[in-house]
Amino acid sequence: MKAAYKNILALSVISAIIAILMAITNYITAPIIKENEANAENEALLVVMPDGGDFEMLDLSGYTLPETVTDAYAASNGGYVVRLSTSGYASDMIILCGVAKDGSVTGAVCLSSGETLGYEKNYGDNFKGLTLEGVDSVDTISSATKTTSAYREAVRDAINTATILAGGSVDLRDEETVLRDNMTALLPASEGNFTRLFLVEALEGVTAVYTADNGAGAVYHFGDKMLALTASGEVLGEASDAEKATLSDYGARLAASKTELLSTDGLTLPKTVVKVEKTESGNYIFTVNANGFSMDHPDWGSPEPIVIRLAMTEAGVILDCDTVSHKESAGYGADCEKDAFTDQFIGKSDESYREIDGISGATVTTDAYLRGIKHAYDALTVLRGGESE
């Protein structure tokens, strides 16, 4: 027993000595390590802002900044270096971006990422010398759309952050929020909740209609101009008497619009056309299944067609286009559901519907969508008494 106690005592003494030595070592080396880390950090900052001089890390708690911003440094030359974390194809793409006092980019580098193709390594060189207005002029890389788009957005966030830190004002709302806020300001009774209406009637000059979810009325878009028609028939917004009359007429036409499901028994329609409806005014609504990326590559995910809803006049002019559902790749083919893509088809005909900008990096999805619209036109030909190709 005595021998065992002696061994325990010896081990305790040795452990205590080791702990003391480690504490002494840490006391001596900690400042050195901290200084080396600071020097390495300063060197990294100088890469994106060579004339920055000294840098001071800022407390960002009192600022409202883009969500991608993790840290920011004030340079002695009046500029800022912003550290951002964003997601390209993978998560945690870390970007360091320098912004000069005049708002131009002094440099941008990707510190780390999990991207597969490596385009982010040199992509930052494209932004040097550009201001916020010039960032959009930098093209995404078609084979790395998600990576390069995320990088470009991060640089935009860095420039906006520098503006805010310098005391300026920046509207950080996304387009969807700006649209909703503008419509709410025009139609306050809507309480800010809107649903875009799928248009099955021809309304000349109207590019979109958003109805208030609570039934307070609707907001009509005439390009960049907006007018509201309340549930009681009052027109809100800067409108002439003629515009007020037109809007009231449009509201009445939409309220009276009725649609019926057509029987396609005995008709040789493309198999992808799964439903056909017709309005009393003579317009057609087609629901089409388009075989996109998920159908062509079932091993990559759950195979499901792109379900397209298309309204067109009997003459074949597209009134509205909507992606009902899809299983296309997030960040690539998933853009087929965005208004920026589907709105391109409005007003197009059988001869011109292909004259649109495809989805960058998603050729398979774009081609599938175009085939789906062709099948709708083939069905229209049959319904008018002709033969499908």
Tens-digit pLDDT profile for residues 326-344: 988 876 788 899 998 999 9
Q: Is the pLDDT of residue 107 over 90?
A: yes
Dump pLDDT digits (tens) for 194-213. Answer: 999 999 999 999 999 999 99
Question: Pick from 328, 332, 335, 323: which is nearest to 372 by CA?
Answer: 323
Q: What is the mean pLDDT of residues 71-98?
A: 93
Rounded distance, CA 179 to CA 156, Å? 20
pLDDT value of position 115: 81
Domain boundaries, the chain: 55-165, 175-256, 260-383
Where is pLDDT greater, at 300 or 310? Answer: 310
Lowest mean pLDDT among 5-9, 136-140, 233-237: 5-9
Mean pLDDT, all residues of the chain: 88
Q: Which of the four pLDDT bands, split at 50, 70 and 90, describes residue 35?
A: very low
Question: What is the model's pTM?
Answer: 0.71
Q: Answer yes or no: is pLDDT of 163 > 60.
A: yes
Mean pLDDT of 144-170: 92
pLDDT given at position 359: 85
> What is the structure's pLDDT at 92?
86
Above 70 in pLDDT, residue 39? Answer: no
Residue 12 has pLDDT above 80, yes or no: no
pLDDT at 2: 53
pLDDT band at 5 (very low <50, low <70, confident <90, very high): low
Residue 58: count other Cβ atoms within 10 Å of its Cβ: 15
Higher pLDDT, 388 or 315: 315
Residue 146 or residue 231, greater confidence: 231
